[in-house]
Amino acid sequence: MNTIELPVRPDVSAFVARVRELLADLSEEDRLELTEGLEADLTDQVAEQGGGVLDDPETYARELRAAGGFEPAGRRSPRLRRPMTATEALDDLRARWEGLVTHPRVAPGWRVLVALRPAWWVLRAWAAAVVVARLVPGWYPYGLTWLPGVDAALGLVILVVCIIGSTLVGLGKVWPGGSAGVLARTVLLLLNVTAVVAVPVINEQLDRLSWDRYSQGYDEARWNGNEEGLVNRGAQVCNIAAYDASGQPLAGVQLFDQAGRPLAVDCWEQQARKVPWMLGDVARWNVFPLGERDRPARTERRREDLTGAAFPTPDRATTPEVTHPLVPEEAETDDEVEPERTRVDRSERKDGQRDGRQRDGDREKSGREDDRMP
Amino acid sequence: MDQTQLLKGVLDLAVLAVVQAEDGYGYDIVRRLRDGGLTEVGEASVYGTLRRLYAAGALTSYVVPSESGPHRKYYGITPIGRDQLARQRSDWQAFSTTLDGILDGPVAATQGASA
């Protein structure tokens, strides 16, 4: 406080003290700003015009407060301040906000934001449109990425309606915009705050959604691509090299799955290079190994030309001998143990040595088929 | 018409103009406004206005010690204040021209508009 070498008149200091008291609801800083130098001003004034000005500190304080841009005092005594009504609270909030945005450091930025207001109307309309689209029953998976869940046309209609509505509210032509009522102001404030919060939330959801969509598409692509084929350890099976229990390679092994369906080993990109086995004039693709051409044959004519076609060389000539866990090792002879599958019909051997062997599959019928299915 | 009513909208402008002419302390500014003809201006209104303009960055302030009494708080104008003054001055001139036109009657107003 700014006193004094020479005494201020006591009536002046009493007056100033009373004025300060009447401004007690303001912050210390504001109060100091309003009343600093008041003694000096009043001393001058009293010296010039007499003490009449000191009669009414209440009016003086009120005038000071109003001209200083502060809210009128709640009631005479700040200690008896009643709780603010909703309107006052809104006014208060608004005044604080205005105070903030008219601050010289903030004002230039705020002016830019004010100019961008229509953009905000569109943005909040979009947020509303996303919410409305979610309220539409059902989920349409192929809509707009940024307005998901509904058909694109419907989404656009919703968006346009929301933009028009938001703009009319923004222009104050449609409730709750432009209304001075407490309810309207509260609703508008809540809606705007909700929109501010909703925009990043929606953005994140859309992000997640597009990732889901991507990985779903990826999975679909993976499975669609192999829907008709056979996958082993993540790679497509294009041919099968079969060996018998003693480790000798087999040719003409017909393979079926547990339901009796021919094993569908067709890598589509390699189909043109493969030569299927024949049942009459029907190509059988479940008989292995499949012959391979040295160059792809994509036409009927070229498919008939089998020059250069041969069985592929398996990665090993033989494989170690294995024994059957369910059959005791009584017979060591090659001809006895033949752990081929029930439905595998050896019509031909690559080396031709073992032609005419008995099928002994029935003996083996022990449900092992599933084990060998990839 | 009551001068205080009219003053409400333009007190900022008047205070800024006075302070721009020369820095001054509260009562000094009141005095200059009154000397300029705004006889009914209330001191508290002027002090409050000074404070508000200061808070908005349009004025700067400094305290000058006095040997013969309490310290005086002086106000001076800032660049922001100058901008505001220039803006409000032209606003006021446009406004008063408009109002003059209206007061001069419809004939004068149309002439003014077509000119």
What is the pLDDT, as a whole number, of residue A364?
A: 47
Look at residue A80 and tell me whether its pLDDT is greater than 70.
no
Mutate to test the interface with A, among B72, B78, B80 (most CBs of A within 10 A): B72
From chain B, pick out residues whose CB is under 8 angstroms from the CB of A4: 69-70
Please give the residue that has the higher pLDDT: either A359 or A199: A199
Residues of chain A contacting residue B45, judged by C-beta atoms under 8 Å apart: 63-64, 66-67
Query: Measured between alpha carbons, how far is A182 from A179 in angstroms, rounded to an integer?
Result: 8
Tokens of B26: 């509260």
The predicted model gives A71-76 an average pLDDT of 60
Give chain B positions within 8 Å (CB) of A51: none
Instruction: Output the pLDDT for position A332.
Output: 53
Quote the CA–CA distance of A192 and A175 in Å, as a whole number: 14
Range 97-156 of A in CB contact (< 8 A) with B = 102-105
For residue A18, name the pLDDT band (cuts at 50, 70, 90).
confident
CA distance B96 to A332: 122
pLDDT tens digits along B19-38: 998 888 888 898 899 898 88
pLDDT of residue A53: 76
**Per residue in A271-285, pLDDT tens?**
778 888 888 888 888
**Residue A353 — left, alpha, or beta (φ > 0 → left; ψ -120 to 50 → alpha)?**
alpha
Between A258 and A2, the more confident residue is: A258
CA pair distance A43, B93, nearest whole angstrom: 36
| Mean pLDDT value across residues A243-270 | 84
- Considering Cα of A277, then A283, then A288, then A294, what sign does the dihedral take? positive
Closest chain A C-alpha to B49 CA, distance in angstroms: 5
Cβ atoms of A33 and B51 within 8 Å: the answer is yes
A43-50 long-range contacts (CB < 8 A, ≥24 apart) are A43/A8, A43/A9, A43/A12, A43/B69, A43/B70, A44/B27, A44/B28, A45/B27, A45/B30, A45/B43, A46/A9, A46/A11, A46/A12
**A318: contact with B, CB 8 A cutoff:** no
pLDDT at residue number A166: 92
> How do residues A107-153 score in pLDDT, each as one tens digit?
888 889 889 999 999 999 999 999 898 888 888 877 788 888 888 88
Taking CB atoms and an 8 Å limit, are A69 and B48 in contact across chains? yes
What pLDDT was estimated at residue A366? 47
**Is the confidence at residue A154, as pLDDT, over 70?**
yes
Whether A28 contacts chain B with CB within 8 A: no
In a mutational test of the B interface, the residue from A44, A49, A71 whose CB has the highest number of chain B CBs within 10 Å is A44
Distance CA A16, CA A21 (A): 8
* pLDDT attached to residue A335: 52
Q: What is the pLDDT of residue B111?
A: 52
pLDDT at A3 over 60: no
Who among A4, A33, A67 is closest to B44 (CB)?
A67
Report the alpha-carbon angle A77-A80-A83, nearest 5.
125
- Residue numbers of chain B with a pLDDT score lower than 70: 1-2, 68, 106-115
Distance from the B101 Cα atom to the nearest Cα atom in chain A, whole angstroms? 31
A interface mutation test: which of B12, B29, B71, B87 has the most A CBs within 10 A?
B71
Which of B46, B47, B57 shows the shortest C-beta gap to A104? B57
User: Contact, A99 vs A68, CB < 8 A?
Assistant: no
The per-residue pLDDT for range A279-314, each reduced to its tens digit, is 888 888 888 888 888 877 777 777 777 777 888 888
User: Looking at the whole model, is its pTM more than 0.95?
Assistant: no
Mean pLDDT of chain A: 77
A329 confidence band (pLDDT: 50, 70, 90): low
Tell me what pLDDT residue A119 has: 93
Q: Does A67 touch chain B (CB under 8 A)?
A: yes
Indicate whether A342 pLDDT > 70.
Answer: no
- In chain A, pLDDT over 70 holds for what percent of residues? 79
Chain A positions touching B42 (Cβ under 8 A) are: 63, 67
Judged against a pLDDT cut of 60, whether residue A191 lies above it is answered with yes
Instruction: Using the predicted structure, report yes or no on whether residue A226 has a pLDDT greater than 50.
Output: no
Residues in chain A within 8 Å Cβ distance of B49: 67-68
What residue spans of B1-115 are helical by DSSP H? 3-21, 26-35, 43-55, 79-103, 106-114
The reported pLDDT for the residue numbered A313 is: 83
* Structure confidence at residue B90 (pLDDT): 92
What backbone phi and psi angles, to 5 degrees, belong to A243? -130, 150
